[in-house]
Structures are given as C-alpha cells and as structure tokens.
Structure 1
Amino acid sequence: MMKPVLVTGMGIISAIGENLSENHESLRHARTGISRAVHFKSHYASLLPFGEINVSNDHLKQSLGLEDSKGYTRTCLLADKAFNEAVADAGLSQADISSFDTALISASTVGGMCLTDQLYEDANLKSAGSEYLSAYGCSAHTMKLIRRYKIKGFTDTINTACSSSANAIMLGARLIRSGRAQRVIVGGVDSLAKYTVNGFNALKILSENPCKPFDVNRDGLNLGEAAAYLVLESQEAASGKKVYARVAGYGNANDAHHPSAMSDEAIGAIRSMKEAMEVAGVTCDQIDYVNAHGTGTQNNDQVELYGLSALFEQIPPFGSTKSYTGHTLGAAGAVEAIFSILSINHAELFPSLHVKTPIANYPNSPIAAYTKTEKVNYVLSNSFGFGGNCTSLVFAGVN
C-alpha cells in the first residue's frame, strides 16, 4: 500500500501578496496583481502589464538577513523568502531540514538569467567577472537553499517549462509514497527577465491588457514572477501536526506536438488529467473544482476546454488564477497548488477575472464571482508546459 502524502507547510510570494495570508486575502477579494512594472527594467515595462512582486531586491535582502551575501539574484531571493515561510509554517527544526530523510525538489525556467544584461556582459567578456558568475544556471537558487539551510538529503531542480513545479510536487510525492523520503520540500521560482519577456514577445502571445483566460476575446498572457514551496510529509513524519491537504494523485504526459503549442486534440492534457484521477482513485464526478492552466492565449484555453469537455460529462467549476498573478512559468504549478489547497481548506471558489464573454460552445463558464461553498473535497490543478509536457495534480481534503 502506497503511503499518504500530506501537506504540512506552505510559503508563497507573488504579485498578490508577500506571504500565504496576503495571497489568500487577494484571492477572496478578487484583487489582481497585474499592472505596470516598477522594479523590472525593460523596454516593455512601460508598454505591457506584468504580475510583478512589488518588493525591491534590497528589501528582500534586508528582510532575509542577506545584506552582505553575494551572488543572490532576484530568483534566489524570492525562492529563499517562500522556502523560509514554508518550513516555518510546517514547524521544521534545523535537524528536520538537515535530515537525510528530507529531500528538496525545486523548479525554475529562467533561473539566474533574470540578470539578462549582466549575463550578456559576463558571457561576452565585457566585464571583469561579476559576483553572479555561478548564479545563472537553472539550479543556482536550489544550491543557495542547500547551503544556507544545510540540506543533506536528495536534491534536484526541474525545468519542464510551465509544468516545472507541478512536476517537482509529483516527484516529491512519489519519493514519499515509495518510502524513499519521509519529508520533501517542493516548489519553484521564476522572476521577470528580459530573456523571457523578449522571447514571449517574439511568439506574439503577450497581451497589452490584463489577461482574460477563457474569454472569447482573449489575446494573450501576462508574464509574472513568484516563488512557492510546500512541505510534503509522510503520515509518520506529520504525526501531531496540522495538515492542509493530501497530494492524492498526479499524472504527466507529453504529446510532443509543437515547441510552444498544445495539440488540438488535447492528447497530453487529457492523458495527464485522467492519470492524476486514476492515481487518486477518484472519478470525474468527484472533482469539485479545476484550477485550470488557463494562460489566456487562443490555443491553450481552447485546447484545455476541449480536453475538459472530452473527459468530464459535466465540467466542474473551473477558473484560472493566472488572472491574479500572471503566468509565473516555473513557479506556476506550485503557486496554483497552494491556491487549490486554500480552496479546499476554506471551502471557497475564487473567480476567474476579466471574463466578459466566455468561450462559446461549452455549457460551463469560468467561475464569475467569489463563492463560499459547503465543501471542496477534491481539486484538479493543471500545468501544461511548452513542448507538450502536461502535468495534472489532484489535491484532497483530510477531514
């Protein structure tokens, strides 16, 4: 029998809050964090809206006691902030964190390339070599966490584009269920970067307005930044602790249809959702809410709705919380896992913002208003990445 995987701690920083409680309040009051960027310096900062965290790097360093530390990019700082909150929330001691039974699985797509201009200078020998030479890789933030928090167990960093931190959660859950770890800290981080903004702009999928996932007039996504971590523990390790939820199921599939678009038949999406529910041992009619990938692009939203309609006889209440945070890339899966668990804990459904005319030909529309419901037992959370890497997670209540 596979061991249950319990969520005992959560930490998050995003455009709608610097911690878990602030994020929850913004969701409950339908407050978006998408606006003009202040700290991100780019040609597009004055032209496009972003889900920017309204905190400077200097403030982050000061709040974390890292004023004198070298080589910390914004990605590293955001990761440290959310990680610190998660382990404190779970009540982990230094002995717990340093135990060989504790693993760390993180995720990122941008990594230290958030310092795009500095990277260019260093890579082309236009500088004498900056303090960030070892910080440009995808795993640099993970290495910072390992050293600062004296982590000795298994560690890994995942980059599967937009499904990265969902896959971190899946791998962490599998380590616990198979008995390879008693505790796994999972999540991801990405910060705004010229590298990604210019790349997404080249794809012509950045909207000039706050994104409106599942609206017939949707015209693209907004890039955001965030960090989010969850502490997963076995039943034995979680004994006597508060438990937020259970990671009940997970599924991953790759349709390899196109470098940046999903197949019209939603092959990967359908398979990942179906597999996640099979692992969880639940049927479609038991899913109370779907936290959709919902980026606001023409292809993604149409394909995801098609996949949901093919799988569900009646699509459950669904929406996209990217209308609050923007698309946070490698952090999105963990951010939305936390939002899904908040929905379970408080029996709340959060509205999908900016939808005026829902996509036609489907009987269900995205959640239009904050709803307090009797109970949310099971939530399906989707994260679909470039290259067709589709991951779905099922979270369950514990009461």
Structure 2
Amino acid sequence: MSRILITGIGAFSAIGDNVAANRQALISGQSGIRTLSNFPSRYAGSLPCGEITRSTDELKQSSGIDDPGVTRTSLIALQALREAITDAGLTPEQLRSSDTALINASTVGGMCLTDELYHDANNDGLAGSPFLSSYDNASVTLFLGQHLRIGGIQNTINTACSSSANAILYGARLLRHGFARRVIVGGADSLAKFTINGFKALHILSANPCTPFDAGRTGLNLGEAGAYLVLEREEDCHDKKTYAHCAGYGNSNDSYHPSSISDEGEGPFLCMQRALEAAQLTAGDIDAINAHGTATENNDETESRAMIRLFGTPPPFLSTKAYTGHTLGAAGALEAVFSILQLQYQESYPALRFNEPIVSTGLIPSASYRSLPVTHIMSNSFGFGGNCSSLIFSAV
C-alpha cells in the first residue's frame, strides 16, 4: 500500500506567524500565553490565553479581505493554509482539480461573531445580517474552499479537541481509498466569548499559565491557531520535498463522561494501541510523544496512566499546550506540525513550567531542548465526549 507523505505544512499561533517562527519559539522555550489584550472580553487583562497578537482588522488587511462577515477563525485559517499550499508547491490548477480535497476542522466555527449576530437579530429595521452566513461550524471550510477554489471533496469535522487530528486521519483514508490525489487537512479556532465563557463554566480554566503534567496543575489556558498539512500519495510525489509519512492512526471513544476521560484512560490507551497496529509498529519503536496534556486534573493523570499501560516507561514526551494554549479544533494539526518538526530536525523541546510529577504516575516530561534521534513520533488528541485520536508520523 502506498505511503501517505506530508509535502507541505503551515502554522499560525500565539508563538509565531509561520512554521519557522513557531519552531524558534519551541527551541527557545518561549511561551505565547499572556493575558488577553486584543480580544473584547470581561477577562481582558486578567485571563491568560494563547492569543495571536494581530488584530482581526490587521488580519483582514494582510489577507486583502474586507467582508464584515468573514470571521477571525477564517482569517487565521487562511494564513496557515496559504503557507501549507505554498510549501507543497500546489498550483491554482491543482487546487481547482476535482482530485484535490479539503478536510477542515473547527469546534466553534463562526460563533466568534455571536454578539454581532445577536445585535443584528434585535435590530428591527435590518433586512439581513452579514454575520448570518458565518454562524455555522462549516463556514470556515466553505470560505476556504470558495476563496481558494478547491475543486474536490470538502468536509468539516467537529469532534471537539480531536477535530483536526481526525481531519488528518480522514484525509489519509481518502488518499488510501482513491477518493483524492492530494488532501489539505487541518483546522482552526479563534478565541471567542462562546468558548471562554463555556470553559469558565466548567471550572477548568487556570488563572495562571498552565503547567501540563505537573502535580500542582490548576487547569488549561485557551488559545487560538490555524494549522494545515498537505497529504499526497508517495507515487504522486516524484521529486517533491517531503517531511514525513503518516504511518498510522487510531481513533476510539472512551464513552465515560461528556467532558472527562475514564480513570484508567481506556480511550487514550485504545487509540494509541490502534495507531501502533495501523503503523505495524510496537510501543518500543516510538521515540517521542507529543501528548494531549491539557493541564487539567483529569486529562494529565489519565493520559499518563494510559502511556504507562502501553509503553511501560514512556519515551520522551511533553505537551506543547504550555506554549500555545489549548487551540481546540486546531490543536491536533498544530501539534502534528510540531511533531513533524521534531522528526525533521531530530530534536526535543522543553516542557514549560514543570516542577513536580503527578504522585500516582511519577512521569516527568522532557526538561530541556536537546537533540533527539526520532524515527517515529506519536501525537495525541483527546476531545470532549471521549473522542480520542492518535497519529504516528515516521521519517521518510
């Protein structure tokens, strides 16, 4: 069976406007988590988030877009997607081809414009709202597809925080079954009142920069980002530059609780196990793990237990959410890009703000930046409702 190769990557997050800037922040241990400043919220100046510093107006100007109904989510997505397309050398003709697919992920979609739509709905003299067409989870996909004139299959995936990991999984399956010749996969989410207030109601937002896998962790920080990968079959790549191949993937559902994983991490264990089986690898073959690591009480302990159950002594691991915040629908793709960078440059990044291991597991994430031989790396993404996905990327 033909290998699925990654021929292009793009990333836009709180630690960088492009892939190179993101990597430099990871190498230097520079976090993008700071108190809200651009985002209009009652928590401005107090709540730490992985906020992209460029305003929505600046993003519109740099993108050449002035439509008031285009969301911040779509603008973030467009910047990352353009980088991935350019990196892969895709031509306008290829984008328009019926064998080019776009699989996009988002948890919030256009609901970052909730206030604008609400005010329009209560304006008796208004015939229609420019924000109505954006108020849909698929609006980002529709915008990207129309703006770039994607000619093939287009789909939106929303499985909470595993959304863009599942977009990668789904895109790889499209290629394997011959439904596309190239697939652009990834996701985007922006900060929104809908998200912040919702997570605040769950009492899982930390008042301080998050501390994944630390015994004293107090919750997660939300973030915003866009990240995309271009997937192609090996026989179609010819002399193209390639970063890695998507060697395996696994999905499971913990089916335990709407917002928590079972105590033994059954869902995380199963998806990691299935990814290994799909890649025809053993646990000992994995050289590094980019963990889901939200810094919530439930996730970090259950993910640790699942890693111990599968690996015994896990390979070097960390959660890059300490850099970017939890970027929701973008997290799986963003962390896939970070994993691919580890493969490409044979390196490990420092876990930020870690002090003491969780008593029940004793696991200690990577302490500092260092060279690390990496042939196979696993990236984990777990979503509300127990939807758990693991991806394995391997050197070409």
Pairs aligned (count): 395
> Residues 124 and 263 of structure 1: is their aligned pair in 2 closer, same or farther, counting only changes over 3 Å?
farther
Decide which of 82, 106, 112 is 1:108's aligned counterpart. Answer: 106
Distance 1:176 1:149 in 2: 20
> What is the RMSD computed on CA atoms of the aligned residues?
1.2
Change in 2 beyond 3 A, CA 1:301/1:363:
closer
3-state SS in 1 of match to 2:44: helix
What is the deviation of 1:125?
Answer: 5.3
Partner of 1:320: 319
Gaps of 5+ in 1: none
SS in 1 for 2:43: helix
- Which residue of structure 1 aligns with residue 261 of structure 2? 262
Offset at residue 347 of structure 1 (A): 0.4
Amino acid at match of 2:240: K
What is the percent sequence identity of the aligned residues? 55
Return 5+ residue gaps in structure 2 as ranges.
none
> 2:184 is matched with which residue?
185
Superposed CA deviations along residues 146-198 of structure 1, whole A, max 9, x for unmatched, are 11111110010000000000000000011111222110000000000000100
* C-alpha contact (below 8 Å) 1:188/1:334 kept by paired residues: yes
Structure 1 residue 126: Cα displacement: 6.3
Q: Which amino acid aligns with 1:177?
A: R
Matches of 2:199 and 2:118, distance apart in 1: 19
Residue 47 (structure 1) aligns with: 46
Which aligned pairs between 1:336-351 and structure 2 lie closer than 5 A? 336-351=335-350
**Structure 1 residues 233 and 41: alpha-carbon distance in aligned structure 2, compared to 1, 3 A threshold:** same
- Give the structure 2 partner of residue 134 of structure 1: 133
Deviations 1:281-322 (A, max 9, x none): 111011010100000000000000000001112211111000
Map of 2:16 onto structure 1? 17
Q: CA deviation at 1:46?
A: 2.3
Q: How do 1:25-64 residues align onto structure 2 when only pairs under 5 Å count?
A: 25-64=24-63
Deviation at 1:369, TM superposition (A): 0.6
SS at match of 2:133: coil
The CA deviation at 1:343 is 0.4
The DSSP-based 3-state class of the residue aligned with 2:102 is strand
Question: Does the 8 A contact of 1:121 with 1:127 survive in 2?
Answer: no
TM-score (norm 1): 0.97
State the SS of the aligned residue for 2:380: strand
In the alignment, what sits opposite 1:172?
171
Counterpart of 1:250 in structure 2 is 249
Point out 4+ residue stretches in structure 1 off by more than 3 angstroms: 122-127, 361-364
- In the alignment, residue 97 of structure 1 is paired with which amino acid? L
Q: 1:386 aligns with which of 380, 384, 388?
A: 384
CA distance in 1, matches of 2:192, 2:216: 27
Per the alignment, residue 72 of structure 1 pairs with 70
Match of 1:144 in 2: 143
Q: 1:98 is matched by which residue type in structure 2?
A: R
**Does the Cα contact within 8 Å between 2:121 and 2:129 map onto a contact in 1?**
no
Alignment partner, residue 221 of structure 2: 222
Question: Equivalents in 2 of 1:126, 1:323: separation in Å?
Answer: 45
Q: Within the alignment, does 1:86 sit opposite 2:61 as a pair?
A: no
Counterparts of 1:120 and 1:325, CA distance in 2? 30
Q: After TM superposition, give the deviation of residue 243 of structure 1 in Å.
A: 0.2
> For the residues of structure 1 that align with 2:362 and 2:261, how far apart are their CA atoms?
22
TM-score by length of structure 2 reads 0.98
Offset at 1:371?
Answer: 1.2
SS in 2 for 1:188: strand
